[in-house]
Amino acid sequence: MKAKRWIFGACLMGSSLLVGCGNTGGDDSSSGAGGATSAYGDAPYEALQTVAEERNLTPDDLVAAAKTFMPSGRHDEYMMFASGGHGGQMIVIGVPSMRILKIIGVFTPEPWQGYGYGVGQDILASGKVNGKDILWGDTHHPALSETAGDYDGQFVFINDKANARIAVIDLRDFETKQIVKNPISLSDHGGTMVTPNTDYIIEGGQYGHPLGWDYAPMDEYVEKYRGMVTIWKFDRKAGRIDESQSFALELPPYWQDLFDAGKLVSEGWIFGNSFNTELATGGVESGAPPFEAGASQRDNDYMHVINLDKAVELFKAGRVDLIKDFPVLSLDTLIEEGVLYFIPEPKSPHGIDVTPDGAFMVVSGKLDPHVTVYSFDKIMATIAAKNWEPDQFGVPVLDFDSCVEAQIEVGLGPLHTQFDNLGYAYTSLFLEPSVARWSLGGEAGTKNPEADWTMVGKVPVQYNVGHIAVAEGDTVSPDGKYLVSMNKWAIDRFAPVGPLLPQNFQLVDIAETGDTMRVIYDMPIGMGEPHYAQIIKADKLKPWDVYPEVGWNPETQSVRLDYARQGKERIERNGTTVDIYMTAVRSHFTPEHVEVNEGDLVRWHITNVERAYDATHGLAIPGYNTNLSLEPGEAQTLEFVADKPGVYPFYCSEFCSALHLEMMGYFLVKPAE
Ligand code: CUK
Ligand code: CUA
């Protein structure tokens, strides 16, 4: 037998790798997974072997393929919500198949969903900055809504680092419902993270600047520049952030990086990390150290420990200053009332992650090969003992040794940490690049065979990993099983597509204990630079098949008052305002002729009156930058001035039926005399 005939070799040795290989006849019970008759007749395993040989696949390749292959019609066990980076969207991906299911327009117009071309216009407009339309965002951290610390599948939030905005996406229809602009900050990064019952959404700042966007010269950095964290109140019933119940905390102008919310024992507290406690202000052109050196001089930066419950109390008691009409708890108030504490953390950290039991906070310094684990109990004891020294702003800096539980050497360039169901933590190592697995201590440490707080193993990834995401990894009870490594560099992984390469999401099988971790899939992400993602059990999501009622307005999640009804289609003129009431159903628009005069204000109300699953229609109007996606039941209103005379064939942009091409009409704009 030739060495490459390994499949049957394994089979003959009694391996259970190939189910039923001893009987490849027509017997349903043994001719393959699910017992179906094979399309390859009575020799499916020979066919598999031929493929393996022709394509030079190893047995490991075949196992990886089997683990990630999703047969037609079968659904993934998990769904991943990944940021779209500077593409400004959110990407929904099935796990383990890594198939893209949807790209949700968030800060960026998305024509396929009609988002920003009629529908969503108001939502995008609410994200204006200084009255300017900002039609992109740099999305970093999605956060699924939680109930009692567990993803509940109702909402997902995401930040825009570039403009300090937060978006709310409703998972009943997977559409963006709200964009909130931070009134005092131009830059955010430590968002979004939610508290265990999604009462609050956390948005930390990033680069220090005068709060409220005022001007101050760089040499007034220490006096005038500030950091911040904003606490947005989420109204779950309304499905919206309630800006009137939201507030911010003034922080020193260290660059706040990421935040995480306490849970279980640490619920009511939030934790952040920072870099540039050097207060470097750059200026390489005039001989000052460049930022990357200036901000990396000290051995320590400061972890931020914030008593959120107390901050909320102070806000409710009115202990705030107003900056641009937004309530802010001043640094002095935070210090006076014992809301804010710092703890030294190793050099230039990136990321902070609270363990599932809420007992430990994990920080890693990009320039330090360790992860540092802080104990919540010890932090509380250190605060109670007043074991601190003030920093230059007067914030108590707690004694490092009294707060630290463990330091574990994991490797070069540690960034972000995730947790699983086996009592392991995983830390991305940007420089190696690989993902390290290490064992937790405390309660969680009893779930795996290793000693507490020890390095267990590593899996190399390709290449330069940023965040990692474990299934249900940010909850109080992670599922483990799968980890996705979000790699910044792809170099040789995919066929070249010019100098701009896709990012590489690698799926890692982490179901076994010890140092066994296997990369089982490479997925190119050809849009934006996804930073973080969260992975939820798919059966927690209960999206609508069709909108609950005909005439539905997805922006408000309620029926429109004056939607276009079937049988009541019409065109109404009132002076120079023309209201068009139109319906769409397979395979026609009613009415099909719409004539207005040059200069008329057109209000085009259109309803998809279908009740059939997936019977979506579009409305594309040439020359007017318009495309709607009308899901079954959806009603929309477009408004524009008919400023250019002509004949505009409008049409349905979703291939909805055999007569879809005929689903069109004429919009005529008659020239003024
Ligand atoms: S960040 Cu991009 S890899 Cu914005 Cu959370 Cu770390
Ligand atoms: Cu309706 Cu195509």
Does the beta carbon of 532 sit less than 6 angstroms from any atom of ligand 1?
Answer: yes
pLDDT at 494: 97
Which atom of ligand 2 has the smallest separation from the CA of 660? Answer: 2
CB 594 within 8 A of CB 635: no
- Tokens in use for 222? 């220490």
pLDDT at 519: 98
Give how far Cα 500 sits from Cα of 462, 486, 492, 612, Å. 16, 17, 13, 41
CA of 586 to the centre of ligand 2 (A): 6
Q: What is the mean pLDDT of residues 404-415?
A: 97
CA of 501 to the centre of ligand 1 (A): 19
pLDDT at 117: 81
d(CA 259, CA 342) in angstroms, rounded, equals 13
Range of weakest confidence among 442-451, 511-520, 597-606: 442-451
Closest CA to 666 of 578, 574, 596, 586: 596
* Residue owning the nearest CA to atom 1 of ligand 1: 531
Backbone Cα Rg of the chain: 28
Q: What is the mean pLDDT of residues 396-407?
A: 98
What lies within 8 Å, CB to CB, of 167 at 6+ separation is 106, 107, 127, 137, 157, 158, 159, 160, 176, 178, 179, 180
Q: Which ligand is nearest to the CA of 586?
A: 2
User: Greater confidence, 287 or 609?
Assistant: 609
Q: What is the mean pLDDT of residues 521-547?
A: 96
pLDDT class for 2, splitting at 50, 70, 90? very low
CA of 664 to the centre of ligand 2 (A): 8
pLDDT at 484: 98
Does the beta carbon of 617 sit less than 6 angstroms from any atom of ligand 2?
Answer: yes
Residue 591 has pLDDT above 70, yes or no: yes
CB half-sphere exposure, 658, CA atoms < 13 A:
0
Range of weakest confidence among 56-70, 270-284, 564-578: 270-284
Residue 427 has pLDDT above 50, yes or no: yes
Residue 395 has pLDDT above 70, yes or no: yes
CB 259 within 8 A of CB 352: yes
pLDDT class for 451, splitting at 50, 70, 90? very high
What lies within 8 Å, CB to CB, of 513 at 6+ separation is 422, 424, 448, 449
What lies within 8 Å, CB to CB, of 473 at 6+ separation is 418, 419, 420, 483, 534, 535
* Residue owning the nearest CA to atom 1 of ligand 2: 617
pLDDT class for 366, splitting at 50, 70, 90? confident
Range of weakest confidence among 110-119, 253-262, 367-376, 630-639: 110-119
CA of 610 to the centre of ligand 2 (A): 11
pLDDT at 30: 42
Which atom of ligand 1 has the smallest separation from the CA of 430? Answer: 3
Give how far Cα 21 sits from Cα of 18, 42, 68, 228, Å. 6, 11, 21, 63
Which atom of ligand 2 has the smallest separation from the CA of 616? Answer: 1
Q: What is the dihedral of CA 487, 493, 499, 500, to 10 degrees?
A: -40
Residues in the chain, overall count: 673
Does the beta carbon of 660 sit less than 6 angstroms from any atom of ligand 2?
Answer: yes
Closest CA to 180 of 252, 228, 129: 129
pLDDT at 27: 42
CB 185 within 8 A of CB 211: yes
Which atom of ligand 1 has the smallest separation from the CA of 189? Answer: 4
Q: What is the mean pLDDT of residues 521-526?
A: 97
Residue 589 has pLDDT above 80, yes or no: yes
d(CA 650, CA 53) in angstroms, rounded, equals 53
Q: What is the dihedral of CA 532, 272, 439, 461, to 10 degrees?
A: 30
What lies within 8 Å, CB to CB, of 377 at 6+ separation is 265, 359
CA of 218 to the centre of ligand 1 (A): 26
d(CA 414, CA 400) in angstroms, rounded, equals 20
Tell me the pLDDT of the chain averaged across its residues.
Answer: 93
Antiparallel, parallel or unpaired: β 577-585 and 601-608: parallel
Q: Which ligand is nearest to the CA of 466?
A: 1
Residue 305 has pLDDT above 70, yes or no: yes
pLDDT at 665: 98
Which atom of ligand 2 has the smallest separation from the CA of 651? Answer: 2
- Render pLDDT for 102-134 as a digit per residue (tens, 0 to 9): 999 999 999 999 998 876 678 998 899 989 999
CA of 114 to the centre of ligand 2 (A): 14
Q: What is the mean pLDDT of residues 405-417?
A: 97
Percent of all residues in the chain with a pLDDT value above 70, rounded to a whole number: 94
pLDDT class for 348, splitting at 50, 70, 90? confident
d(CA 404, CA 346) in angstroms, rounded, equals 12
DSSP string, 259-319: EEE--GGGTTEEEEEEE-TT-----GGGTSPPHHHHTT-SSEEEEEEEEHHHHHHHHHTT-
Q: In what order do the strands lie in the sheet with 617-621?
A: 593-597, 664-670, 646-651, 617-621, 626-630
Antiparallel, parallel or unpaired: β 588-590 and 626-630: unpaired
Percent of all residues in the chain with a pLDDT value above 90, rounded to a whole number: 86
Q: What is the mean pLDDT of residues 531-551?
A: 98
CB 288 within 8 A of CB 282: yes
pLDDT at 329: 98
- Beta-ladder partners of 590: 583
Does the beta carbon of 158 sit less than 6 angstroms from any atom of ligand 2?
Answer: no
pLDDT at 17: 44
CA of 584 to the centre of ligand 2 (A): 8
Which atom of ligand 2 has the smallest separation from the CA of 661? Answer: 2
Does the beta carbon of 467 sit less than 6 angstroms from any atom of ligand 1?
Answer: yes
pLDDT at 539: 98
| Sign of the torsion angle spanned by Cα atoms 447, 448, 449, 454 | negative
Output the CA angle 433-435-441, nearest 5 degrees: 145
* Residue owning the nearest CA to atom 2 of ligand 1: 531
CA of 453 to the centre of ligand 1 (A): 25
d(CA 468, CA 175) in angstroms, rounded, equals 25
Q: Which ligand is nearest to the CA of 618?
A: 2
Does the beta carbon of 259 sit less than 6 angstroms from any atom of ligand 1?
Answer: no
* Coil, strand or helix at 645: coil
Closest CA to 273 of 115, 431, 415: 415
Q: What is the mean pLDDT of residues 573-577?
A: 97
d(CA 426, CA 436) in angstroms, rounded, equals 5
Q: Which ligand is nearest to the CA of 653?
A: 2
Does the beta carbon of 415 sit less than 6 angstroms from any atom of ligand 1?
Answer: yes
- CA 218 to centroid of chain Cα atoms: 34
Which atom of ligand 2 has the smallest separation from the CA of 584? Answer: 1
Which atom of ligand 1 has the smallest separation from the CA of 529? Answer: 2
Antiparallel, parallel or unpaired: β 552-553 and 558-559: antiparallel
d(CA 161, CA 258) in angstroms, rounded, equals 12
| Sign of the torsion angle spanned by Cα atoms 265, 144, 106, 508 | positive
pLDDT at 424: 98
Contacts by residues 540-543 (CB-CB < 8 Å, ≥ 24 positions apart): 540/151, 540/152, 540/153, 541/79, 541/153, 541/171, 542/153, 542/172, 543/171, 543/172, 543/173, 543/174
User: Greater confidence, 82 or 35?
Assistant: 82
- Tokens in use for 482? 């799968």
Does the beta carbon of 350 sit less than 6 angstroms from any atom of ligand 1?
Answer: yes
Give the residue, out of 206, 467, 474, with the most ligand 1 atoms within 8 A of its beta carbon, to mutate for a pocket test.
467
* Residue owning the nearest CA to atom 3 of ligand 1: 466
CA of 85 to the centre of ligand 1 (A): 10
CA of 618 to the centre of ligand 2 (A): 6
Residue 547 has pLDDT above 70, yes or no: yes
Which atom of ligand 2 has the smallest separation from the CA of 617? Answer: 1
Residue 37 has pLDDT above 90, yes or no: no
Provide the 8-state DSSP code for 138.
Answer: -
Q: What is the mean pLDDT of residues 254-262?
A: 96
Q: Which ligand is nearest to the CA of 204?
A: 1
Does the beta carbon of 140 sit less than 6 angstroms from any atom of ligand 1?
Answer: yes
Q: Which residue has the tokens 């019977």?
A: 615
- Render pLDDT for 160-204 as a digit per residue (tens, 0 to 9): 999 999 999 999 999 999 999 999 999 899 999 999 999 999 999
